[in-house]
Each structure stands twice: as C-alpha cells, then as structure tokens.
C-alpha cells in the first residue's frame, strides 16, 4: 500500500474570494475535520476505524494533524488558478481584474456545481455543472439582495471563451468520459455548459487511488462537500448564495451543527461501496430538496436547513474517506 504523505499539503496560489464558491473555506475544512474525528469515535464501524487509523498513522499518529491536513487540502481547492476566461485579443484571466466584477467569482468555481434541477447536460453527464442559461433565476431580488451576481458575471464575461490550454488540461481532466468540443461548448460564457462537480471530484479521487496523499483526497472531498450546498445544486450564484454561506460559517459552532449524534443519524445513508459520483449525487439530492436558503434569510429557517445539511455533508465525507482506504485494500465497490 502506498503511504500517505503529510508533506503534500502545501498551499496553492490564491485567487479572489467568491460568492459562488460553495461553503466558505473554513466550513469546508471543518466538515472534513469533523468527519475524521467521527471516524475515530465510538460511533464508527470497523471500516471507518481502519480508514481513520490509515490517515492518522500517515500523520505520524497525530489525529489532529491528519484532520488538519485533509481539511486544509479541501480548503485549498478554492484557491486553484486552473481556469481562465477572456479572448485572444485582450488576454485571459483567472478572475476579473477591476471594478464591481472583482468580487464576483474566481472562474474555477464554475466546476463546483452539480445542477439537480435538470437532467443530462450537453456533455452527456447525468447532471451538468454551472450553466448561465439554465440557472435558477434570482428570486431574492428586493428581499435584501441588491445584485444578481449571475447576471453581473454574464455582463462582464459576455462572449468570452475558455482558454484553449485549460480545455486541454483542466477541462479534459474533469470530462471523465463525457463529450466536449471546444467550439461547441466553450466559446461564449453565456452558453458554456461547465463540467459538474462529480466529475472534478472523481478525477481527484482517482488520483488518490494512484497517489494516496492528503492533498488528492482533500481535493476530492471539496467537490463532494460543494454538493451539500443547495445553491450549487440549482446553478445559481445569486439567491442569497453568499449570505447563506456566511451564516453557516458564523453559526457552525454556536449552533453546534456537527455533533457526533447528528452525524450518526445520517451516516448510515451513505454507502462507501457506492461510486464516488453516486455519493455526490445522493448528497446533492438531499440539498436540492431543501431550497429555503435561496429565498429566506431568517435565522430559524437557515438553522432548520443547516441542522440537516451539515451532518449530511459530514456523513457523505465519512463515506468517501472510508471508500478511499477500502479502495487501497482492493475493496472499492462501484
């Protein structure tokens, strides 16, 4: 069995913070930390404990270092600069350079969606990624949200294209058996059908199987945990997207959203023998069934959703962490 190296968790270059990144980075990290801690608790089954021992032993027996390394890798994905948009006559950027659009989006975030409101996409995926044409229209306008972030991004990026080298590298990695044609799919932002989060996560999960490091597993977990955020199942950067993520970060500990008891109530619904893509879709379906954060901002409503979705996301994370080690033992399942 290949050894997991705690030395492979170096930070990647920073991009701009973005309202369209699912969960705030500290929330991503904490969900992974809480998942590993659950796997070391009395609630864990034998496979979870075997996986827990693998990760902890790979951090020289230090459970906190193992959890921090996995969590930090999950955190770091939002800092990737692997997608650029622009045009040949004015150049390509990894994020907008000036003005109001400066805070709209880091372009790599468009690979972080799995649109459960529609079926098969233009690439042939079971569910597609972000697509401006098929976004959930902003229903929160006039209810505390002053700008439609999706529309502002589209105005700024109108008729911009994906950098060709990114199509041959990042997009190719995230294609995962689906069909892509540069001229057909990536020439005009407003028409781009982005590859979905399950494909990106599957790529990194397979990289973990080839090279089991905290980084490769943490990167895979980022795209999984993205799917637990309802906005990312409805292809919208608007609809109180940023406000919901900020509320979760602010209330994660004060509302005690990740107790082992709550995680235990959810964990049995996620089977490590299922495929990585199926686990992402399962979590995304759970989030999609709770659309309230798109339209309501009161504390009680947000709390009722968070009390379900944070444990659900951590439970799915437990399943993927367990599946990863199962695979290294030749017990991968689907």
User: DSSP per residue over 91-143, as a string?
Assistant: EEESS--SSGGGGT--GGGGGS---TTS-S-TT--SS----GGGPPP---BTT
Q: What is the mean pLDDT of the chain?
A: 89
In this prediction, residue 247 carries a pLDDT of 96
Question: Do 172 and 88 contact (CB within 8 A), yes or no?
Answer: no
Q: How many Å apart are CA 290 and CA 302, to the nearest integer?
A: 10
Residue 8 has pLDDT above 70, yes or no: no
Residue 278's nearest CA partner among 323, 234, 213 is 323
The helix-helix angle for 25-39 and 299-328 (nearest 10°) equals 60
CATH number for the domain spanning 268: value is 1.10.575.10
pLDDT in tens, 269-314: 999 999 999 999 999 999 999 999 999 999 999 999 999 999 999 9
Taking the alpha carbons at both ends of the chain, their separation in whole angstroms is 20
Q: What is the pLDDT of residue 178?
A: 97
Whole-angstrom distance, CA of residue 218 vs CA of residue 214: 6
Pair 242, 287: CB distance under 8 Å: no
Range of the domain at 124: 1-334
Instruction: Convert the pLDDT of each residue in 23-43 to its tens digit.
Output: 678 899 999 999 999 999 999
- Describe the crossing of helices 214-226 and 299-328 by its angle, rounded to 10 degrees: 140
Rounded Cα–Cα distance for residues 325 and 332 (Å): 8
How many domains does the chain divide into? 1
Considering only residues 195 and 1, tell me which one the structure prediction assigns the higher pLDDT: 195
Phi, psi of 326 (to 5 degrees): -55, -45
In the structure, what pLDDT confidence band is assigned to residue 239 with cuts at 50, 70 and 90?
A: very high
pLDDT digits (tens, 9 = 90+) for 96-119: 655 444 444 568 889 999 999 999
Please give the Cα distance from 284 to 288 (Å, whole number). 6
């Amino acid at each position: 069995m290949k050894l997991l190296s705690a030395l492979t968790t170096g930070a990647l270059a920073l991009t701009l913070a973005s309202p369209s990144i699912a969960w705030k980075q500290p929330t991503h990290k904490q969900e992974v930390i809480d998942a590993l801690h659950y796997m070391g608790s009395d609630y864990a089954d034998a496979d979870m404990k075997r996986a827990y021992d693998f990760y902890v032993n790979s951090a020289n027996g230090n459970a906190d270092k193992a959890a921090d390394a996995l969590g930090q890798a999950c955190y770091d994905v939002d800092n990737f600069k692997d997608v650029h948009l622009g045009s040949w006559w004015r150049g390509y950027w990894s994020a907008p350079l000036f003005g109001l659009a400066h805070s709209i989006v880091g372009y790599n975030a468009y690979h972080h969606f799995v649109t459960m409101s529609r079926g098969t996409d233009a690439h042939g995926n079971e569910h597609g990624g972000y697509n401006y044409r098929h976004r959930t229209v902003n229903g929160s306008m006039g209810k505390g949200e002053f700008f439609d972030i999706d529309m502002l991004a589209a105005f700024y990026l109108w008729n911009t294209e994906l950098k060709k080298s990114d199509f041959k590298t990042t997009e190719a990695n995230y294609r995962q058996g689906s069909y892509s044609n540069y001229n057909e799919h990536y020439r005009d932002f407003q028409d781009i059908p982005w590859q979905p989060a399950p494909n990106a996560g599957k790529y990194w999960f397979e990289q973990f199987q080839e090279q089991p490091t905290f980084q490769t597993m943490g990167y895979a977990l980022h795209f999984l945990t993205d799917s637990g955020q309802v906005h990312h199942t409805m292809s919208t950067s608007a609809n109180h997207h940023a406000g919901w993520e900020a509320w979760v970060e602010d209330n994660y500990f004060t509302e005690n959203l990740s107790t082992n008891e709550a995680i235990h109530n959810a964990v049995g619904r996620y089977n490590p023998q299922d495929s990585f893509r199926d686990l992402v879709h399962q979590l995304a379906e759970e989030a999609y069934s709770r659309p309230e954060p798109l339209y309501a901002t009161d504390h009680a409503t947000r709390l009722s959703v968070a009390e379900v979705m944070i444990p659900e996301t951590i439970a799915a994370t437990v399943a993927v962490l367990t599946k990863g080690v199962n695979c290294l033992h030749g017990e991968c399942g689907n």
